């Protein structure tokens, strides 16, 4: 206890003890225990730190401590141009980098008044959905691993590797892609990439069914997560839950449907919801969403229009490299954009997409300069973790692992 | 293809204790996956069936530092995280090695900002700097092989870290090995 | 009725004493008013059955560096009933760097305000647990203020000994 006191900031302990302030720290030692979980703990999905107050094995207080991965994104965004920040968005939610790329460019395009051509939008939709599948696969796998089913993790990672192979063909990087550009995408999607995506979607569903079979018939898994970490609809909205977690509480809210961006209103897909709001519902929901995403990708591949993948706005959209090397005009534009940025008009906007973890939004304040005056990243994981105390209190300590796994936080974007 | 091949007809081999200890150590490096951010995902990928770190005898990822001899620091280390990383390093038993995986851990990488440590070598001894953001899994395997090479070349008597000696920490007496 | 006309009308009816500065840029409605009324207006927007701004998406601040009122609080709120996003703003002066906390209205605001406090140093009255969100507690500066250098202040964050 003394050591904990020494190493933990008194204010954090205070917050932990505040729930029932008839105890002092000494008292707590006699009756209860304070347990430190993380930041280096395999089940905290990165560097989340939880301070738990235990009565026996039951949790009566929980204080999450963030910031172990605070990298200063917002400050950096204020110091670099809109183009320069695209690679940084990869590292926000590093399980689905493509979706973040899409979110960033859409926000900048809204600010600058650019519209990407149809084909680029379709490609973006495809990559965002594939990224969602990849992210949910990791989420489900890691969740299962946390509660003890290791095989599923290996299986889902194997599927995810196939998606990474698509990225590899598409943009040359398997993990941190930076594929989108303001006003389009970096390069046109090659036929091989599209063929590979098609192949992936076709073979994906049987594998998913296999995963499902393995887990759904596993009594240990089901009993471990059923009815654990329940949150009601009202609480979920009030506490800022978003994305799959919110839908698992019975709120049919999805920005793809409620505030359509790209061409989602041309797509036919369902928004799965569950009403239980527990870990099991969140797991089922992720699997269902994978299927819906696969459906969207299939439609996108069918309807993919031909045409350019860059908006024709030389002052704002980076020209293609082969043109830069051969044409004077393009060279000048390239120079101007790289050095001074795209200078969107004065104003402020907020644009959000339905990322794989929930509402991923960017709020910009522009003063007409090449870099944003203010850039706020609204990250879904941050808001999801906020309700963790609400979810874990009253449960056993081993359930914490399951609950964290089921809400799937990514510290890269929670800590920014 | 192992020791058995040599043992086939004679039943014994002559070698140095140094060599056999180094051989044993290098073929079973147990990594401590200090996964902090994005690079950790690629580190996970190394364990998956496609890249399969088990081929190198290192599939035993232990999350407790006390059972490991190789720390793979994968991810951006911030000032807030630095004491934690150091503490975990200190908890690992000697001999130990460190791979700084990715640009962030090596130099701060793309984060030239107020909260990111510009290279973990400011507070940790690092054996291998691994370039890339993130390094591909193949690259991490390469680093692992380099570490194995390094371990293979080290004599058993050199297997503890120098700073420990300087601080006057008493090392357990291992007569046979040390007086070799 | 269109929400873009309904909301200003309702607010003006309910709070005749408050001066609203209304902007509509790129289809995003923004209200700016005095920081004294933040909690009242937020509570009204949340509880009014015709509006139901039940989710608080995001709270942040802007540092204008040289303006008279140095900071502006920004609240991004969302009504799931109408699929409508609304932005509220209130100026905060550096000399009186305090705002009333809206965490009693939306519980989601708790951490978002803590983050704002951590990054800008704006204090929130009546906040249940006002601590730094990301930076260590002993850190003295506020990183997102414009006078804080990107690379930080050397020596302000300690490193363990080698
Ligand atoms: S090197 Fe790149 S991928 Fe690795 S942790 Fe740093 S930013 Fe992430």
Q: What is the pLDDT of residues A222-279, one digit of tens each?
A: 888 888 888 888 888 888 888 888 888 888 888 888 888 888 888 888 888 888 888 8
| Cβ(B139) – ligand 1 distance below 6 Å | no
Average pLDDT (B75-103) is 85
Hey, what are B28's tokens? Answer: 């079973």
Confidence band (pLDDT; 50, 70, 90) for A396? confident
State the residue for tokens 């951490």: C111
- Of the given ranges (A26-40, A159-173, C81-95), which has the lowest mean pLDDT? A26-40
**Ligand 1 nearest-atom number relative to CA B36:** 5
Parallel, antiparallel or unpaired: strands A184-185 and A347-354 = unpaired
Element at C110 (helix H, strand E) = helix C109-120
C110-120 pLDDT tens trace: 888 888 888 88
Confidence band (pLDDT; 50, 70, 90) for B180? very low
Task: Provide the number of CB pairs (under 8 Å) joining chain B to chain C.
Answer: 40
Strand partners, A363: A350, A376
Using the mean position of ligand 1's atoms as its centre, give its distance from the Cα of residue A300 in Å.
31
Confidence band (pLDDT; 50, 70, 90) for A160? confident
CB A341 within 8 A of CB A334: no
Q: Using DSSP, how many helices (H) and how many strands (E) does chain C show?
A: 3, 7
Mean pLDDT score across all residues of chain A? 84
Architecture of domain C3-96: 2-Layer Sandwich (3.30)
Residue-wise DSSP of A335-404: HHHHHH---PPSEEEEEEEE-SSSEEEEEEEE-SSSS-SEEEEE-HHHHHHHTHHHHHTTSBHHHHHHHH
Using the mean position of ligand 1's atoms as its centre, give its distance from the Cα of residue B133 in Å.
5
Which residues in chain C are contacts of B123 at CB distance < 8 A?
A: 159-162
B24-60 pLDDT tens trace: 888 888 888 888 888 888 888 887 777 888 888 887 8
pLDDT at site A68 = 87
Confidence band (pLDDT; 50, 70, 90) for A210? confident
Mutation to probe ligand 1, out of B35, B109, B143 (largest number of atoms < 8 A from CB)? B109
Hey, what are A146's tokens? Answer: 């946390």
Confidence band (pLDDT; 50, 70, 90) for A8? low
**Least Cα separation, residue B25 to chain A (angstroms):** 25
**Given a cut of 70, is residue B170 above it in pLDDT?**
no
Confidence band (pLDDT; 50, 70, 90) for A6? low
Q: Provide the whole-model pTM.
A: 0.87
Hey, what are A364's tokens? Answer: 């910009």
**Where do the domains of chain A lie, and which CATH numbers do they carry?**
2-65 (no CATH), 85-311+345-411 (1.10.645.10)
Average pLDDT (C123-147) is 85
User: Domain boundaries in chain C?
Assistant: 3-96
Give the integer Cα–Cα distance in Å for A364 and A367: 10
Confidence band (pLDDT; 50, 70, 90) for B89? confident
CA distances, C85 to each of A408, C45, C103 (Å): 26, 12, 19
**Given a cut of 80, is residue A4 above it in pLDDT?**
no
Give the integer Cα–Cα distance in Å for A360 and A377: 8
Q: What ipTM is given for this predicted complex?
A: 0.89
The single-letter DSSP state of residue C66 is: S
Hey, what are C28's tokens? Answer: 């995003």
Average pLDDT (A270-290) is 87
Neighbour tally for B104: CB within 10 Å: 30
Topology of domain B3-153 in CATH is: Rossmann fold (3.40.50)
CB A72 within 8 A of CB C142: no
**Given a cut of 70, is residue B176 above it in pLDDT?**
no
Confidence band (pLDDT; 50, 70, 90) for B2? low
pLDDT at site B174 = 47
CB A115 within 8 A of CB A129: no
Please, how many CA atoms are within 13 Å of residue A30, restricted to the half-sphere of its CB? 4
Average pLDDT (A201-229) is 86
**Given a cut of 80, is residue A354 above it in pLDDT?**
yes
HEC readout, chain B: CCHHHHHCCCCCCCCCHHHHHHHHHHHCCCEEEEECCHHHHHHHHHHCCCCCHHHHCCCCCCCCHHHCCEEEEECCCECCCHHHHHHHHHHCCCCCEEEEEHHHHHHCCCCCCCCECCCHHHCCCCCEEECCCCCCHHHHHHHHHHHHHHHHHCCHHHCCCHHHHHCCCCCCCCHHHHCC
B119-138 pLDDT tens trace: 888 888 888 888 888 888 88
Work out the angle between the directed axes of helices A191-216 and A279-303 (0-180°, nearest 10): 160
Average pLDDT (A339-344) is 83
Using the mean position of ligand 1's atoms as its centre, give its distance from the Cα of residue A106 in Å.
24
**Least Cα separation, residue C136 to chain B (angstroms):** 6
User: Domain boundaries in chain B?
Assistant: 3-153
Out of C151, C159, C162, closest to residue B112 by CB: C151
Work out the angle between the directed axes of helices A118-146 and A191-216 (0-180°, nearest 10): 30
Average pLDDT (A112-131) is 88
């Amino acid at each position: 206890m003394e050591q904990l006191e020494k190493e933990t900031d008194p204010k954090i302990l205070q917050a932990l003890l505040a729930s029932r302030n008839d105890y002092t720290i000494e008292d707590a030692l006699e009756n209860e225990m304070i347990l430190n979980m993380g930041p280096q703990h395999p089940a905290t999905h990165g560097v989340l730190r939880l301070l738990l107050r235990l009565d026996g094995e039951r949790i009566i207080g929980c204080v999450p401590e963030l910031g172990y991965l605070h990298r200063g994104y917002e400050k950096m965004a204020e110091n670099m141009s809109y183009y320069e920040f695209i690679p940084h968005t990869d590292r926000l939610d590093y399980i689905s980098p493509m979706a973040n790329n899409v979110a960033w460019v859409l926000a900048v395009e809204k600010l600058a008044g650019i519209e990407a051509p149809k084909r680029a939008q379709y490609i973006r939709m495809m990559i965002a959905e594939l990224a969602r599948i990849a992210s949910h696969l990791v989420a489900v796998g890691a969740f299962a691993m946390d509660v003890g089913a290791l095989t599923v993790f290996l299986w889902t990672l194997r599927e995810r590797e196939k998606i990474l192979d698509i990225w590899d063909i598409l943009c040359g990087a398997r993990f941190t892609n930076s594929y989108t550009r303001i006003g389009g995408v970096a390069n046109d999607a090659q036929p091989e990439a599209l063929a590979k995506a098609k192949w992936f979607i076709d073979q994906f569903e049987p594998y998913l069914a296999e995963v499902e079979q393995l887990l759904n018939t596993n009594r240990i898994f089901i009993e471990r997560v059923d009815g654990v970490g329940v949150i009601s609809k009202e609480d979920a909205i009030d506490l800022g839950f978003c994305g799959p977690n919110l839908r698992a509480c019975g709120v049919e809210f999805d920005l793809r449907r409620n505030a359509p961006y790209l061409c989602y209103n041309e797509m036919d897909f369902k928004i799965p919801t569950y009403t239980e709001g527990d870990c099991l519902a969140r797991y089922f929901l992720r699997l269902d969403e994978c299927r819906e995403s696969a459906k969207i990708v299939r439609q996108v591949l069918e309807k993919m229009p031909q045409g350019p993948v860059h908006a024709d706005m030389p002052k704002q959209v980076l020209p293609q490299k082969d043109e830069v090397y051969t044409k004077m005009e393009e060279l000048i534009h390239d120079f101007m954009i790289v050095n001074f940025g795209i200078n969107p008009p004065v104003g402020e906007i907020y644009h959000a997409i339905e990322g794989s973890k929930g509402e991923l939004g960017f709020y910009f304040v522009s003063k007409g300069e090449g870099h944003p005056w203010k850039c706020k990243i609204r990250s879904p994981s941050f808001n999801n973790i906020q309700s963790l105390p609400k979810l874990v209190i009253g449960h056993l300590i081993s359930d914490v692992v399951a609950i964290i796994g089921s809400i799937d936080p990514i510290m890269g974007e929670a800590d920014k | 293809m192992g020791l058995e091949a040599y043992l086939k007809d004679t039943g014994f081999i002559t070698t140095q204790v140094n060599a056999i200890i180094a051989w044993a150590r290098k073929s079973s490096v147990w990594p401590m996956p200090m996964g902090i951010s994005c690079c950790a995902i690629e580190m996970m990928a190394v364990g998956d069936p496609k890249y399969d770190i088990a081929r190198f005898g290192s599939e035993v990822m232990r999350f407790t530092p006390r059972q490991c001899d190789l720390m793979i620091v994968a991810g951006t280390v911030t000032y807030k995280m630095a004491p934690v990383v150091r503490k975990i390093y200190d908890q690992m038993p000697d001999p130990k090695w460190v791979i700084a995986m990715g640009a962030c851990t090596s130099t701060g990488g793309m984060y030239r900002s107020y909260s990111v440590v510009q290279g973990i070598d400011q507070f940790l001894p690092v054996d291998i700097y691994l370039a890339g953001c993130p390094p591909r899994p193949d690259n991490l395997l390469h680093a692992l092989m380099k570490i194995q090479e390094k371990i293979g070349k080290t004599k058993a008597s050199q297997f503890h870290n120098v700073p420990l000696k300087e601080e006057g920490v008493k090392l357990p007496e291992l007569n046979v090995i040390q007086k070799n | 009725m269109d929400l873009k006309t309904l909301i200003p009308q309702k607010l003006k009816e309910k709070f005749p004493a408050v001066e609203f500065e209304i902007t509509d840029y790129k289809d995003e409605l923004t209200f700016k008013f005095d920081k004294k009324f933040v909690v009242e207006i937020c509570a009204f927007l949340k509880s009014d059955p015709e509006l139901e701004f039940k989710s608080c998406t995001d709270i942040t601040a802007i540092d204008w560096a040289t303006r008279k009122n140095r900071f502006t609080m920004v609240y991004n709120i969302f009504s799931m009933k109408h699929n409508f996003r609304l932005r509220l703003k209130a100026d905060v002066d550096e000399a009186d760097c305090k705002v009333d906390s809206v965490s009693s209205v939306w519980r989601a605001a708790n951490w978002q305000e803590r983050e704002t406090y951590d990054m800008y140093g704006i204090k929130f009255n009546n906040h249940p647990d006002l601590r730094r969100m990301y930076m260590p507690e002993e850190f003295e500066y506020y990183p997102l203020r414009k006078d804080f250098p990107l690379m930080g202040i050397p020596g302000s964050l300690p490193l363990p000994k080698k």
